[in-house]
């Protein structure tokens, strides 16, 4: 899987850091939530594997901090704003 540029990208994390793969993303919604959206493209082999198993895995580094909310979706998700939705 690789992160790809998509409509609405407005920042690239790791752009000038050669030790990281650049991560195009879109900063969205209320700055309070800090929501970002990224888009990932699957290789043909990965598509076959997901079709066979129906599974994807998400690995994150928390550096001992609380886990942040995440959402994996096959579509562009609606923005959820907990401040607005109280």
72 within 8 A of 58, measured Cβ to Cβ = yes
Higher-confidence residue of 33 and 22: namely: 22
Burial 34-51 (b: 16+ CB within 10 A, else e): ebebebeeeeeeeeeeee
Higher-confidence residue of 35 and 80: namely: 35
Cβ-in-10-Å burial (0-12, 13-18, 19+) of 25 comes to: buried
Hey, is 8 helix, strand or coil? coil
pLDDT at 79: 67
Average pLDDT over residues 7-19: 93
Return d(Cα 34, Cα 29) in angstroms, integer: 8
Task: Tell me what percent of the residues of the chain surpass a pLDDT of 90.
Answer: 60
Is pTM beyond 0.85 here?
Answer: no
Band of residue 64 on the pLDDT scale cut at 50, 70, 90: very high
């Amino acid at each position: 899987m690789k992160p790809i540029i998509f409509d609405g990208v407005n920042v690239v994390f790791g752009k000038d850091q050669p030790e990281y793969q650049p991560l195009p993303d879109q900063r969205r919604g209320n700055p309070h939530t800090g929501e970002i959206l990224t888009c990932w493209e699957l290789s043909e082999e990965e598509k076959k594997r997901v079709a066979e198993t129906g599974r994807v895995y998400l690995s994150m580094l928390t550096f001992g901090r609380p886990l942040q909310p995440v959402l994996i979706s096959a579509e562009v998700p609606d923005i959820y704003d907990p401040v607005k939705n109280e």
